[in-house]
Amino acid sequence: MNYIILDLEWNQGNEQKEKQLKELPFEIIEIGAVKLNSRMEICDSFHELIRPQVYKEMHYMTKKLLHLDMEELQSGRSFLQVIKSFLAWCGEDYMFGTWGPQDLTELQRNMKFYGMEPLDKKPMKFYDVQKLFSIAFEDKKSRRNLEYAVDFLAISKDIPFHRALSDAYYTGRVLAKIKDPQVLQMISFDGFIVPHNKKEEVHIVFDDYAKYISRDFADKQELLADKEVSSTKCYLCHRNLKKKIRWFTPNGKHYYSVSYCEKHGFMKGKIRVRKTEDDRVYAVKTMKFITEEDAADIFKKKERARELRRLRKHKES
């Protein structure tokens, strides 16, 4: 399998002059990509400018960041022509990789705007190299900019940043430096396309955690009432587990639980409630084995949330 490491540059409306379109807040103006073979060696590249059809002026922030002007973009082909060439260049057997989580969402939003078929009917797998860099070399949580990662890995900076092809090239070089197979199995899923039925839902088990992406629901109440969403099944022995701490939320967005498996120990559940493009909701649930101390911390978190609510109530009265 090949890896298509992609970077997009986009433009947006200048508030005073051009109103931002809700269906297309960002218009892609440049696409750059490198192809990595199965040994993570760069073997090909793709680069094209795209002639803007929606936003005719460059947003001042974009102008400041990218070294591109509108005149130069007029030499590019239309989005439809470029994307068709790009997808043909990608070939058959590949997986995308990007720096950060946004590029594939914007690519698919632009494709939808121009009436193209989505890249996939379910959430698309990809490498979020920014996340993998953090898992491989840092604290697993922080999000660094691309230049920091390039400096950290002592990759030579022979071309300027903030152009699609150069950023794709550097992202590919960073990915190639990640050798740990445990890190490389940590794939991400793009959230632009959400499963619409049980068959399309995503269930994936990694070495130390399991991930589930639900189908979409009309609202949060319906989502949380679903048995699959609220279940706490051991992903190793597939038994339904009794909850030690029932689902609770400190903020209405994330829900936590702790269950206990007699064979494998304490398991933390986390549900993130996310909105779809059409204002429905879906869940991203992760289950992970934790220590007894971690379980005690989650219990404290629940108690703290309760205490905060109590204090606020007292303050009011």
Partner DNA sequence: GTGTTTCAGCACCTTCACGC
Partner DNA sequence: GCGTGAAGGTGCTGAAACAC
Q: Where are the alpha helices (DSSP H) in 116-219?
A: 129-137, 146-152, 164-177, 181-184
Tell me the C-alpha distance between 88 and 81, whole Å: 11
The residue (of 130 and 214) whose beta carbon lies closer to DNA is: 130
Please identify which residue in 1, 43, 65, 205 interacts with DNA, judged by CB under 7 A: 65
Between 100 and 236, whose beta carbon lies closer to DNA? 100
Tell me whether residue 227 or residue 313 sits nearer to DNA (CB atom).
313
**Residue 214 is a binding residue for DNA (CB under 7 A):** no
Q: What residues form DSSP beta bridges with 74?
A: none
Q: Which of 28/241 has CB closer to DNA? A: 28
Using rule CB under 7 A, residue 127 touches DNA: no
Q: Is 221 in the site for DNA (CB under 7 A)?
A: yes
* Residues whose CB falls within 8 Å of the CB of residue 81, separated by 6 or more in sequence, listed in order: none
Q: Is 203 helix (H, G, I), strand (E, B) or coil?
A: strand
- The yes or no reply on residue 191 touching DNA (CB under 7 A) is yes
Kindly tell me which of 32 and 201 has the beta carbon lying closer to DNA.
32
CB 303, min distance to DNA, A: 9
Which strand (E) or helix (H) includes residue 43?
A: strand 42-49
Q: Does 300 bind DNA (CB under 7 A)?
A: no
Q: Does 36 bind DNA (CB under 7 A)?
A: no
Looking at 121, 157, 242, 309, which residue binds DNA (CB under 7 A)?
Answer: 309
Cβ atoms < 10 Å from Cβ of 156: 7
The torsion angles phi and psi of 25, rounded to 5 degrees, stand at: -65, -30
d(CA 193, CA 166): 28
In the complex, the smallest distance separating the C-beta of residue 307 from DNA, rounded to whole angstroms, is 8
Residues 80-109 that bind DNA (CB under 7 A): 99-102, 105
> Taking CB under 7 A as the rule, does residue 231 contact DNA?
no
Q: CA-to-CA distance for 81 and 114, rounded, in angstroms?
A: 11
Kindly tell me which residue out of 53, 74, 78, 145 binds DNA, with binding defined by CB under 7 A. Answer: 145
Are 279 and 238 in contact by the 8 Å Cβ rule? The answer is: no
Q: How many angstroms separate the most distant Cα atoms in the chain?
A: 68
CA distance 316 to 260: 38
Token pair, residue 32, equals 């750059």
Note the residues at the interface with DNA (CB under 7 A): 7-10, 12, 15, 20, 25-26, 59, 61-62, 65-66, 99-102, 105, 130, 141-146, 148, 162, 167, 191, 220-221, 224, 247-254, 272, 274, 306, 308-310, 312-313, 316-317
